[in-house]
Structure 1
């Protein structure tokens, strides 16, 4: 009885935690009505971009109004349709949207609708007859860390479709900046413009995008001898691929001394009291093999949250220099 009671308590705790975290299903099955509702939500809730892959397009009044509303809100819309499968009147309607880029592909049969938050992969075309009569199925996929690889892999497939498509119409933004939809860029490529901004502020230090994960990282190798610096963007917030501006909450120092020396440096340098040693920053280095992390400390610098990207980088640059200077003093004593 005691074991069952403990088990029930644990189950209740897990359920409560799930509710507190507002965890939503990462994938859901959709019938025709649910597909229409989910695609409508995608068009309505987009903050930056919408991408539609649909071979056959004949807009109902409902979806025509939703696309127009998105266009009027300044949302970038990218549509890929099947070559020679778009009626002249339908094409003219799409051509009238200022913020819409239109591409065609001879071989697509896939149907996919998504924004920054979620994606519908389905059998349904953007076609009024399909909305009313066809038996359709689909899956709603959330763009969440715990959603697995489905969203990311689907994005990869859409990128390849777009890469091999023919561009027929450019939006105003694409006409001025080139075709660079943020949604279709691999995460690590979004960091290239950020590197330009960072390197302008860090003088002789050269940061590079390292594609060692599906998101990538921004690293300066040998910032000082045997010390790499890694900037860790907050990928939950958008990265401006034109200006390079991004949100930065922490940086890491990656030491490349041999293990025995690194262990001695760690023991001489870091104590729990060191966490708040630096004004504006907190540091954490729990184990000599791990990276030393520098965090924003709002107690010392309450304006962190209102600082621009450039101001944030300058603040972190000062923190990096302070911590590395103290680490190097310890290392010099061990020579």
Structure 2
């Protein structure tokens, strides 16, 4: 849920957003005169290896302020002739408001802003993860504008990583972009099983493999896998009755699953008590998903003699 921020709350949340950045951070502010709190937050993010991209207004940064920013190892510094917005974004939290990174503003001005969040699945709780997610279409609209500003800006200094990745910034991907990347990874791990992006609801994207096995569709949703058996009604009911005779919530290693009614999808979740610690890499997780799905298909084939 979006939060309204006045000056004291902006003074709290802007450094917090910077400090809680995990991999990437984008700051778009026309005027910069960093306070001690903001500079400490930037240094902390930089020391944690966060890739910082900062866009300011052309000819509006003093040499002294520029030298402080260029001392950061992981910064991409750009300028834009027309930028006037104030935007702070770390992939989870987005602040849009009136406050520049300006010490005078922090101490004297009456400022306003809005804090919104899009928390991706994590194992560790942060200040941000206790909040309620805001609408993804709002984030996608903001991301598209951020992309345009960065694209139209002039680059003064690129970090080592930016040079190596051709300035790839993951947090300015839309939901569709994120799912497309997911499909690419699944297609590498699953080989002949081809996934594609599908929009199920307005701006709600999932990775779908039609006919994962004959008359069986698989959809990777945000935190679960949805399996649909495309059978005639009598076949589906017969399958469900036979399936339930040996049903066990945890019968597939590493997963738990639910199939509540024959005309509903079978829903598969990672088992919280299963140790996935050796499978942190996305490719290893995908391999585990493939093994789990293969076991489910094996049971399906045994029951249906397919």
CA apart distance, 1:311: 3.7
CA apart distance, 1:137: 1.7
Change in 2 beyond 3 A, CA 1:228/1:85: same
CA apart distance, 1:258: 4.4
What corresponds to 1:270 in structure 2?
A: 244
Q: Distance in 1 between matches of 2:240 and 2:134?
A: 36
What corresponds to 1:130 in structure 2?
A: 105
Greater relative CO (CA pairs within 8 A, separation 6+): 2
Change in 2 beyond 3 A, CA 1:326/1:50: same
**Which is worse superposed, 171-180 or 189-198?**
189-198
1:228 and 2:203 aligned: no
What corresponds to 1:46 in structure 2?
A: 21
Q: Distance in 2 between matches of 1:61 and 1:312?
A: 42
Alignment of structure 1 residues 155-166 onto 2, 5 Å: 155-166=143-154
1:168 and 2:141 aligned: no
Q: TM-score, normalised by structure 1?
A: 0.74
What corresponds to 1:99 in structure 2?
A: 74
Alignment of structure 1 residues 9-28 onto 2, 5 Å: 26-28=1-3
Q: Distance in 1 between matches of 2:63 and 2:251?
A: 68
Where 1:287 maps in the other structure, the secondary structure is coil
Counterpart of 1:199 (choices 187, 191, 199) is 187
1:254 and 2:228 aligned: yes
CA apart distance, 1:291: 1.8
**Which is worse superposed, 320-329 or 259-268?**
259-268
What corresponds to 2:291 in structure 1?
A: 318
Change in 2 beyond 3 A, CA 1:319/1:35: closer
Where 1:328 maps in the other structure, the secondary structure is helix
Structure 2 unaligned segments of length 5 or more: list them.
Answer: 120-130
Change in 2 beyond 3 A, CA 1:184/1:62: same
What corresponds to 1:56 in structure 2?
A: 31
Q: TM-score, normalised by structure 2?
A: 0.80
Change in 2 beyond 3 A, CA 1:85/1:313: same
Counterpart of 1:67 (choices 42, 67, 86) is 42
CA apart distance, 1:70: 2.0
Alignment of structure 1 residues 74-93 onto 2, 5 Å: 74-93=49-68
Structure 1 unaligned segments of length 5 or more: list them.
Answer: 1-25, 235-249
Change in 2 beyond 3 A, CA 1:203/1:305: same
1:143 and 2:118 aligned: yes
Contact 2:140 2:175 in 1 (8 A): no
Contact 1:296 1:304 in 2 (8 A): no
1:43-74 CA distances to partner (integer Å, 9 max, x unpaired)?
A: 22222222111112222344233323322221
Change in 2 beyond 3 A, CA 1:165/1:298: closer
RMSD: 3.0
Q: Distance in 2 between matches of 1:123 and 1:297?
A: 45
What corresponds to 1:327 in structure 2?
A: 300
Contact 2:79 2:153 in 1 (8 A): yes
What corresponds to 2:265 in structure 1?
A: 291
Change in 2 beyond 3 A, CA 1:305/1:252: farther
CA apart distance, 1:322: 2.4
Where 1:103 maps in the other structure, the secondary structure is strand
CA apart distance, 1:111: 0.8
